[in-house]
Amino acid sequence: IVPARYSHPEWALQLGLPLDDYWPFLTSMFLHGSWLHFVGNMWCLWLFGDNVEDRMGHIRYLFFYLLCGLVAGLIHFVFNQSSTVPTIGASGAIAGIMGAYFVMFPTARVITLVPIFFLPYFIEIPAVFYLGIWFLTQITSGLFSLIAPASGGIAWWAHIGGFVCGIILLPVFRKRPQRYRAYYSDEVFPMRFFFYR
């Protein structure tokens, strides 16, 4: 997604970009800038996605994921309309999954690696706190990016939009309440507080 392509048509025409092509809002979710980018996103998707998928069912989960990704892309466009920096990655959609997890599994324990004085410590943090802190970092960084726009990096507003979208859309995609076993996510490392879109 290149926001300026849609907000500055004269610029897009100079580069030979068609103005009526909106496929990037979908296809960008399946592209990544590096193997580290890809593995980081898939790690987060694996940590939080399997439990959400189990609650929704495969088909609902697929459409939920894609819709959160589309909304994340639109929110990124709204807050970065003049940006000429291409945006790729799945983390907007994954943020939607994290939003759903935030609501459905607030008491699940997330085993988190926390370095203290260069020594690794593993502690269990309730998902509601872990994801709440993560979301606050996205909002803080997103607001700061409006004051001092960067030339590249992280699509903060895509994360924010995806997370909120996941919370809002959850009642639509969630199955009727049933009896479920308790869920626990796997290890989550501190770098997962910040992941590229």
pLDDT at 195: 34
Q: What is the pTM of this model?
A: 0.83
Contact at 8 Å (CB) between 111 and 188? yes
Distances (CA, A) of 94 to 90, 141, 168, 196: 6, 18, 15, 11
Residue 20 exposed, middle or buried by CB count within 10 Å (0-12, 13-18, 19+): exposed
Tens place of pLDDT per residue across the chain (197 aa) = 999 899 888 898 888 888 888 999 999 999 998 999 999 999 999 999 999 999 999 999 999 999 999 999 999 999 999 888 899 999 999 999 999 999 999 999 988 877 777 788 888 889 999 999 999 999 999 999 888 766 567 899 999 999 999 999 999 998 866 554 544 444 444 434 333 34
Where are the strands (E) in 108-180, listed by range?
109-116, 119-126
pLDDT at 12: 86
Q: Which CATH class is domain 4-193?
A: mainly alpha
Residue whose pair of structure tokens reads 């706190």 in the numeric block: 129
Break the chain into its structural domains and give their ranges: 4-193
d(CA 37, CA 197): 8
